[in-house]
Chain A
Amino acid sequence: MTTLVVVEPGLDPSSLTELVREASQRVVVLLLGGSGPTDVESDADAILAVVGESMELAEVAADAISEVARGQDATLVVLPATARFREIFPLLAYRLHAASVSDVLALRRVDGQLEAERLLYGGVAVATVALQRPVAVVTAPVARSEVGRGTPAEMVEVSTCSRPAKEVVSRRPVERQNALPTAERLVSFGRGVRSRDDVALIDELAKLLSAEVGCSRPIVEDMRWLTVDHQVGLTGTTVTPSLYVAIGISGQIQHLVGMRDSKVIVAINSNPAAPIFSVADIGIVGDLYEVVPRLIDALAAKSR
């Protein structure tokens, strides 16, 4: 049972190799490269790489990966849950006629049958699914790593045939403002904050805590006060800080999913029935407009 773990330069395959360890006999890491170095740090059984400029097109990348997968007799292919690979994911699944699910939490074989665990309904439930095809393709979260460290990969030749009728006409690197994934402390707010001006209060608290500022989905998608790189949750960023302060966030499940793994969770909300309290270590039922200013004062006094 060979598993193919696919990454690109800058992504660390170790979380993926860990994920599949139990369900695989042999793990092969494939680096989907560009023109840069093809070194990968991994304890996998083999490290391969395919390069080529046209790999930036999802169809071509899917061709390449499927060819390698077939060549390696892989029964399971794991992709990182990043924007690029989410586009490749369904195209690859189609080419391999695979059973596919995204964002798996766990993988195992039960009586030879590959099973995966993943969230449903935005995080309310954990579903156990059976992947009933000879080949399975899944995605899972992955951390970043430094480029160019580790063992050089073995180059593999592929003959991709797709010539999709699309081209990238411009590419503007976006500042990786997303400090959320690596933040040590996070202060996050939701619809409990009533106006854009009041966000200054949150900023002040975050500054005192040396924390990053995050928010829930409505703040980005409905109110549009912050950009999506501040969004914590299922469709935003998953964070794992040592301190997460949720202010005026009801705790809709899509949000909880994104911060559940924080070490210490503090919730401030005026509604005692808010779901956020069920995942909080420390809960304060109160009006954030009364609590947060006092918290700011207390922290400021402490630092003096």
Chain B
Amino acid sequence: MLTTALLGPKYLYMPELPLWLHWAIYVAMLAALAFAFLLMARKLRRLRISGRQLYGGLRRALSQHPSEAFAALGGDVLGQRRVRRDRYGGTMHGLIFYSFCVLLLGTTLIGVQHDITTRLFGTVFLRGDFYLGEKALLDTAALALITGVCMAMWRRYRSRPVQLGARQSIGLVYSSLLFMSVSGLMLEATRELLIPTTWSWWTYAGHTVAMVIHPLIGGHVLLAYETMWGVHVAAAFTLIGVAAATTLDHAVILPTNLVLGTNRTSGLIARPFDLAGVLEAEGDLENLTAGFANPAELSWDRRLMVDACINCGRCEAACPATAAGRPLSPRLLVQALRDDLHSGGAGDVDRDVFARRVLSEESLWSCLTCSACRQECPAGIDQPGLILDMRRHLAEKGQLDEQKAMVLSGLERNQNPLGLPSYQRADWLTELGVQSIRDNPDVEYLYWIGCMASYDQRARDIVRAMMKILDHVGITFAILGNEEQCHGECQRRLGDEAGFQLRTMELSEQLRGYGVKKILTHCPHCMNTFTNDYREFGIDLEVVHHSQLLAQLIDSKRLNIEPASGGGSVAYHDPCNLGRILGVYDAPRTVVKASVGDQMVEFERSRDRSFCCGAGGANYFYKVPAAESVSGMRITQARDVGAQTVATACPFCMAMLEDASRSGEAQGEMKVMDLSELVAGQLPSGAP
């Protein structure tokens, strides 16, 4: 029965085990399970999550997004995808997790054999070489588990990385796991001493322990065996209890959150309300609200998400704001929200997390929405979404400083965040003879110039380079001209959701009016906004980034350039929006490779680990106090890999990095060039 499931039939050699003890062990086991269940229920109650909600959410995830849900379970849980991103942590956790799974599987097989197959069909499958191999595997798993726990303890108590946060009763967790595995080996050892076998070397770990303890036990083998038997049973029940009462509950909560996460859109683009819908239906605007003032206001599944934070600090280690000494650590932010949730939240509903000093407003504004944290988080927490929602709350209350207010008023009055006259937007292009889409609707692309290239001198160089290339290969394009207005990405990131939604309505009408289907842009922020943010508003556009177009032209041999020689190494900087958020990594590299050949080098932090330039989350338009400059750090990283030029694919990255390259001792030594400039420089001379 169940006791045999725990201990194995061949090893149930307890001739004096009284019947009452059998039943007592059953009861104890049920009690342990019930205890665990109650603790979980209590946690859910504290988070105000009902069983029905939980069930409903899981069911929805599995029925409506089955492939994503199973991908989460398979990839992140079973495959430990994100956990493995850190080598030490991944190894350590893998050892513990996989070993535990193997041991659990092993014991389950024994139970299945004893209670089901033998009892019902009389078959025994745990025999022969298969059985021996399985035993060896289990021994290995036990050793691996012990190793993993020791690795974890070493890291936590000796090397103490700064981002590793404290965890509830972690010592108890380590002890229970060790207790379980060591007592298991001890049990195996004493059993072997009691009933020697010919194949003891297969259970090499137990065998080794047996040889060691043999002299210590002397003649009291049966007593030793019976003691270890009881100890190991106790260890099992203890582990169940500990799992529910400590941070070990992540084994249940994290997979649950990962599955529930498939029901949610990324927080950065999730729409808190549909303004167009409300206006059309002439509904009541009073109830329109965005963001949250206190974590208690979060939806039940996001409360669970916040609770899932295990304080591992991988987000903090990846965060460029933290690295620059800004007052933000995603870990501390989520933990603060988590603690607040557990402490019963706000008794005084009129005061928000800022008034109650749970969080500082500065920490929110320090965020670059680069999403490095969200990417690293093994628990599937959406930190940028939480931050944006709190920014929305501040914006709703009008709690924005003058710098941010100026951005919003510039957008409203002049259609650009810089507050520069709208009529100066495209005159420079019209003077160059560029056609407007109004007069030229049948072109291949609408070239979206964007606010940076419209007003920033250096960013205009990108457009000039692109024009040269497009003319060279014969691709037609037109612009919106002075009618072009900002799509409002910075507006949304500043928390002015209503203003942003009004803007989307205007823009979509404008683009629809011109029958625009395909947009070419050199700015990843513009591309991200049109591709992701605008999609939720039913605006479906094909957006091509200039790196993608250039790569296409190069691959199809429509554009043939020879790589430049000399000039030093060129490091390609992955823009957060283009890389991590839109997943475009290879196209820009094709372009850089074609332009500079072997001189291309990679940053240490590249691709999805790229380090933000510091302009994200509307930070380009306001200042946050920091120990160091984020962009300055990236330039240093470029120097560290010996680069003399940084290749960028984003006008903001270019502005930030060029700016940073001019300060500090090595002023002006690092060149910053856009991809288009690298290509245009390699066009055959005499090209139009």
> Which residues of A does B touch, CB under 8 Å?
195, 222, 250, 270-273, 285, 287, 289-290
From the candidates B406, B424, B668, name the one contacting A273 in the complex (CB within 8 A).
B424
Min CB distance A221 to B, Å, is 9
Is A222's CB under 8 angstroms from B402's CB? yes
Nearest A residue to B405 by beta-carbon distance? A222
Inside 8 A of A285's CB, which chain B residues have their CB? 457
B652 contacts the other chain (CB 8 A):
no
Inside 8 A of B457's CB, which chain A residues have their CB? 270-272, 285
Which label, helix, strand, loop or mixed, suits the secondary structure of the A interface? loop
Inside 8 A of B406's CB, which chain A residues have their CB? 222
Given A222-B402, A250-B420, A273-B424, A289-B662 contact (CB < 8 Å): yes
6 more A-B residue pairs beyond the given contacts A222-B402, A250-B420, A271-B457, with a C-beta to C-beta distance below 8 A: A195-B623, A270-B456, A272-B457, A273-B455, A285-B457, A289-B663
Nearest B residue to A290 by beta-carbon distance? B662
| Interface size grouping (class) on chain B | 10 to 19
From the candidates B424, B455, B623, B662, name the one contacting A287 in the complex (CB within 8 A).
B662
Inside 8 A of B471's CB, which chain A residues have their CB? none
Inside 8 A of A273's CB, which chain B residues have their CB? 424, 427-428, 455
Inside 8 A of A250's CB, which chain B residues have their CB? 420
Shortest 7 CB-CB contacts between residues of A and residues of B: A273-B424, A270-B457, A222-B402, A271-B457, A289-B662, A272-B457, A273-B428
A136 to B224, CA, bound (A): 116
Contact mask B485-501 → A, CB, 8 Å, 1/0? 00000000000000000
Is A271's CB under 8 angstroms from B662's CB? no
Min CB distance A109 to B, Å, is 38
Is B455's CB under 8 angstroms from A271's CB? yes
Nearest B residue to A250 by beta-carbon distance? B420
Inside 8 A of A289's CB, which chain B residues have their CB? 662-663
Min CB distance A219 to B, Å, is 13
> Which residues of B does A touch, CB under 8 Å?
402, 406, 420, 424, 427-428, 455-458, 623, 662-663, 668
Nearest A residue to B402 by beta-carbon distance? A222
Would you mind naming 10 contact pairs between A and B with Cβ atoms under 8 Å apart?
A195-B623, A222-B402, A270-B458, A271-B456, A272-B457, A273-B424, A285-B457, A287-B662, A289-B662, A290-B668
Inside 8 A of B456's CB, which chain A residues have their CB? 270-271
A195 to B623, CA, bound (A): 9
A88 to B333, CA, bound (A): 57
A271 to B406, CA, bound (A): 19
A250 to B414, CA, bound (A): 15
A195 to B458, CA, bound (A): 21
Inside 8 A of B455's CB, which chain A residues have their CB? 271, 273
Inside 8 A of B427's CB, which chain A residues have their CB? 273
A289 to B25, CA, bound (A): 79
A195 to B622, CA, bound (A): 11
A272 to B428, CA, bound (A): 10
A270 to B458, CA, bound (A): 9
Nearest B residue to A195 by beta-carbon distance? B623
A287 to B458, CA, bound (A): 10
Min CB distance B418 to A, Å, is 10
Min CB distance B663 to A, Å, is 8
Inside 8 A of B623's CB, which chain A residues have their CB? 195
Inside 8 A of B458's CB, which chain A residues have their CB? 270
Min CB distance B121 to A, Å, is 80
Min CB distance A274 to B, Å, is 9
A287 to B457, CA, bound (A): 10
A195 to B624, CA, bound (A): 12
Inside 8 A of A270's CB, which chain B residues have their CB? 456-458
Nearest A residue to B623 by beta-carbon distance? A195
Inside 8 A of B663's CB, which chain A residues have their CB? 289
Min CB distance B323 to A, Å, is 21
A287 to B406, CA, bound (A): 23
Inside 8 A of B402's CB, which chain A residues have their CB? 222
Min CB distance A121 to B, Å, is 13
From B457, B458, B662, B663, residue with most partner A Cβ within 10 Å: B457
Inside 8 A of A287's CB, which chain B residues have their CB? 662
Min CB distance B250 to A, Å, is 44
A181 to B420, CA, bound (A): 29
Inside 8 A of A290's CB, which chain B residues have their CB? 662, 668
Inside 8 A of B420's CB, which chain A residues have their CB? 250
A179 to B8, CA, bound (A): 97
Min CB distance A280 to B, Å, is 16
A195 to B662, CA, bound (A): 15
Min CB distance A227 to B, Å, is 17
From A195, A272, A273, A289, residue with most partner B Cβ within 10 Å: A273
Nearest B residue to A287 by beta-carbon distance? B662
A272 to B623, CA, bound (A): 25
Nearest B residue to A270 by beta-carbon distance? B457
